Structure 1
Amino acid sequence: MAKWYDIKAAADGDGQQPPTIYLYDEIGYWGVTAKDFADDLKALGPVTALTVRINSGGGEFFAGLAIGNLLRTHAAKVTVKIDGLAGSIASVIAMAGDTVEMPSNAMMMVHNVSWWASGTAEDLRETADVMDQMRKSLVAAYRAKTGLDDAKLDELLTDSGTWMTAAEAKELGFCDVVTDAVDATNFARVDPARFAKVPAAIAAKLAPPPPAPPPAAADQAKPAEARQIADLCAKAGFPELTAGLLTGTATEADVTRRIEDARKVQDACARFRRPDMARNLIAAVATGLTVDAACAIANEAAADRDESVVTDTSRPNSQPQANGWDKAINTVNQRTAR
């Protein structure tokens, strides 16, 4: 199962590097929970120091809050290194560091709580109450690290967000040490559109790199070898596609198209806050469902799900067909039949 974190154990003693935790993805994705993180952290055993390396645009609010609390209360001395970007809930996790280091060209972004909800007027009033409590959690985490008063934090926690350079973060107390600049390619690869307002210079760094040019036509016309298919699917992050492509006739172009379809469905599920549906929808597309129909199903499920969802994150569900799946499919089928 894919994870949005990686924990590398190391001997903890004189002259040895401490265990390192990498948060290099959307926090809370792929059905991996904060409890999984806690279990892996506990498995390290007693250590006196931890290094946490962050390069993330954010993720699921409560997963990030739990991780921050786990690190803040850990017996080890925690050093946080922001390798590119600590945005949204990733910045809250960074506040758990006894020492927070940022290269001079790294960025931090903080913003007000945002939430997607549907239902009755009473439902929305209750959602607003929950959002007020979530904001208090943010303010408490930032205040504990920076010492800033609530008035100053209110200035920073705007709906559009506040982007800070390393020097600005240090001046405000979000960062303790500014180090030498790093390669700009270390910035988290996230869609700038997920944020309300992004400085142009930062948006260019965040934007995913352009797709590689397709292979030559002659190469694509030749049936791909089984190992080549497996390698292409694994490298793209969709190893589950391999079995369906081992037909003996699938070309490299066929594999590329299948991967592109899977990526479109995955991106749509993330955009509609339903990453839990991605695996099933990708499998359905591989057996005949169109990409447009899969995206429509994810959209309908997002609109009809029973629980509220944090807008700059996803809340994975261990049962992919729950929370509006059947209703979404029926709605899309009805529209198609008209």
Structure 2
Amino acid sequence: MRANVPRIYAKAGTDESGRPWYNMAKPETAGQAIEVMIYDDIGGWGLRAADFIRELKALDDGKSAITVAIDSDGGDVFDGFAISNALARLGDRCTVRIDGLAASAASVIACGAHRVVMAENTMMMIHNPWTWASGDAEELRKTADVLDKVTGGLLATYRAKAPKMDAATLKTMLDAETWLSPYEAVALGLADEISGTVQAKARALSPILAKYRKLPQALVEKDKPAETKADPAPQPPQEPAHNVAALAARLTQACIQAGHPQLAEKLIVSTALKDEATVAAEVSRIEAVSVLCQTAKLPELAGDYLAVGLGADAVRARLFDKLIAADVGEIDNCEPVPDATQTLARSPNSTEIYAARKGKPKATNQGSK
């Protein structure tokens, strides 16, 4: 997301018909939802907030539900704020459906909707705003101040959608450029529902997407042609699946509370969310390993131990070896015994206190030392 003016965009132009890079469809019959598709950059020569809001206002009858489908790498933060606020004003009539990627400014737009639905194979990315700048030291300081203020706007937008999110945790996620699976987004409150998969269309890697620091490999390979596969053989009916979203949310929340939100996706994959017992055991492992490392005053090791799958017993043994190697002396969890040779503090002398209040000289107390 770019904050200052003039803004420079990574993509430009429209299609051959001259239409903008989004589409709005008025329902053919009464009662149907108005469909809005945002499938490219936000701002500049892509989707401008002024055009979007003007066309939406022309279609909106004030009664129909509105569904906004998003697959966007992001773009200009102020256009994102404007569109997000416009969707928020629609109230519970507005639903955002993430069909591919909602990154950067596109995630801001998504959070303006009353309800956010993500397909299982989609992602959301949040990060700090960034920009190009030039000038002397004073000009660059002003630009940095603007970026800080924009960051405050991002925090407000995300927390409006997910009020239970801790502000410090959210800021850490912005600093780290965090890519969220649907399960993580639901657990955090940035999305409300997970739907079935949506077929992702191949597309070239955009210059905006290429600039992100932690781009998942799955998105890098989206421009490769899909392999042709034979239709799978029909499978016999299976028992109803357990609530995968709830299990993923539980595991993600445990990672966040332990201070390791970056491990959520890895642990979701490693457990395969097999069943409630598997997830419960993993949550117990997370809690036990975190407590052991904190007790040993080595909390920085918990993330690595959890990532490689160590259990409480293995972690306890490793921590013991590290403490012995560090020559910390005897490890004793008992409270220290008072030293018998230590001089005890004298008890209050009531005579002295009374004399001091009356302005009299201290009385001699032979029992005092």
Give the Cα–Cα distance (whole angstroms) in 2 for the partners of residues 170 and 188 of structure 1.
Answer: 28
Mapping for residues 255-270 of structure 1, pairs under 5 Å = none
Q: What residue number does 2:112 align with?
A: 96
Does the aligned pair in 2 maintain the 1:91–1:110 contact within 8 Å?
Answer: yes
Mapping for residues 96-175 of structure 1, pairs under 5 Å = 96-147=112-163, 148-158=165-175, 160-175=176-191
Residues 112-159 of structure 1: CA distance to partner in whole angstroms, max 9, x if unpaired?
A: 11111001111111111110110011000100001212111112102x
Q: What residue number does 1:185 align with?
A: 201
Give the Cα–Cα distance (whole angstroms) in 2 for the partners of residues 122 and 144 of structure 1.
Answer: 33
SS in 2 for 1:84: strand
Residues 285-307 of structure 1: CA distance to partner in whole angstroms, max 9, x if unpaired?
A: xxxxxxxxxxxxxxxxxxxxxxx
Q: What is the deviation of 1:28?
A: 1.3
Q: What residue number does 1:226 align with?
A: none
What is the RMSD of the two structures over their aligned residues, measured on CA atoms?
2.2
Give the Cα–Cα distance (whole angstroms) in 2 for the partners of residues 198 and 31 of structure 1.
Answer: 22
Q: What residue number does 2:233 align with?
A: none
Q: What residue number does 2:96 align with?
A: 80
Give the Cα–Cα distance (whole angstroms) in 2 for the partners of residues 31 and 185 of structure 1.
Answer: 19
SS in 2 for 1:184: coil
Letter of the 1:201 counterpart? A
Note closer, same or farther for the CA distance 1:31–1:89 as it changes in structure 2 (3 Å cut): closer
Q: What residue number does 2:51 align with?
A: 36
Q: What is the deviation of 1:59?
A: 1.1
Mapping for residues 311-326 of structure 1, pairs under 5 Å = none
Residues 268-326 of structure 1: CA distance to partner in whole angstroms, max 9, x if unpaired?
A: xxxxxxxxxxxxxxxxxxxxxxxxxxxxxxxxxxxxxxxxxxxxxxxxxxxxxxxxxxx
- Matching of residue 26 in structure 1 with residue 41 in structure 2: yes
Letter of the 2:145 counterpart? D
Deviates more, 1:133-142 or 1:37-46: 37-46
Q: What is the deviation of 1:189?
A: 5.2
Does the aligned pair in 2 maintain the 1:102–1:175 contact within 8 Å?
Answer: yes
Note closer, same or farther for the CA distance 1:153–1:116 as it changes in structure 2 (3 Å cut): same
- Matching of residue 10 in structure 1 with residue 1 in structure 2: no
Give the Cα–Cα distance (whole angstroms) in 2 for the partners of residues 182 and 157 of structure 1.
Answer: 27
More helix by percentage: 1
The count of residues paired between Structure 1 and Structure 2 equals: 206
Give the Cα–Cα distance (whole angstroms) in 2 for the partners of residues 31 and 203 of structure 1.
Answer: 21
Q: What residue number does 1:204 align with?
A: 221
Q: What is the deviation of 1:39?
A: 1.0
Letter of the 1:91 counterpart? S
Give the Cα–Cα distance (whole angstroms) in 2 for the partners of residues 135 and 108 of structure 1.
Answer: 17
Note closer, same or farther for the CA distance 1:188–1:39 as it changes in structure 2 (3 Å cut): farther
Residues 219-261 of structure 1: CA distance to partner in whole angstroms, max 9, x if unpaired?
A: xxxxxxxxxxxxxxxxxxxxxxxxxxxxxxxxxxxxxxxxxxx
% identical aligned pairs: 43
Give the Cα–Cα distance (whole angstroms) in 2 for the partners of residues 74 and 25 of structure 1.
Answer: 22
Letter of the 1:4 counterpart? W
Give the Cα–Cα distance (whole angstroms) in 1 for the partners of residues 29 and 126 of structure 2.
Answer: 33
Does the aligned pair in 1 maintain the 2:205–2:220 contact within 8 Å?
Answer: no
Note closer, same or farther for the CA distance 1:32–1:185 as it changes in structure 2 (3 Å cut): closer
Does the aligned pair in 2 maintain the 1:4–1:28 contact within 8 Å?
Answer: no
Letter of the 1:25 counterpart? D
Does the aligned pair in 1 maintain the 2:91–2:113 contact within 8 Å?
Answer: no
Mapping for residues 235-314 of structure 1, pairs under 5 Å = none
Give the Cα–Cα distance (whole angstroms) in 1 for the partners of residues 202 and 118 of structure 2.
Answer: 12
Does the aligned pair in 2 maintain the 1:12–1:19 contact within 8 Å?
Answer: no
SS in 1 for 2:180: strand
Does the aligned pair in 2 maintain the 1:81–1:100 contact within 8 Å?
Answer: yes
Q: What is the deviation of 1:78?
A: 0.5
Does the aligned pair in 2 maintain the 1:5–1:24 contact within 8 Å?
Answer: yes
For structure 2, which runs of at least 5 residues remain unmatched after alignment? 1-17, 227-369
Note closer, same or farther for the CA distance 1:145–1:139 as it changes in structure 2 (3 Å cut): same
SS in 2 for 1:157: helix
Letter of the 1:195 counterpart? Y
For structure 1, which runs of at least 5 residues remain unmatched after alignment? 211-338
TM-score for the superposition, normalised by structure 2: 0.52
Note closer, same or farther for the CA distance 1:141–1:186 as it changes in structure 2 (3 Å cut): farther
Which of the pair has the greater relative contact order for Cα pairs under 8 Å at 6+ separation? 1
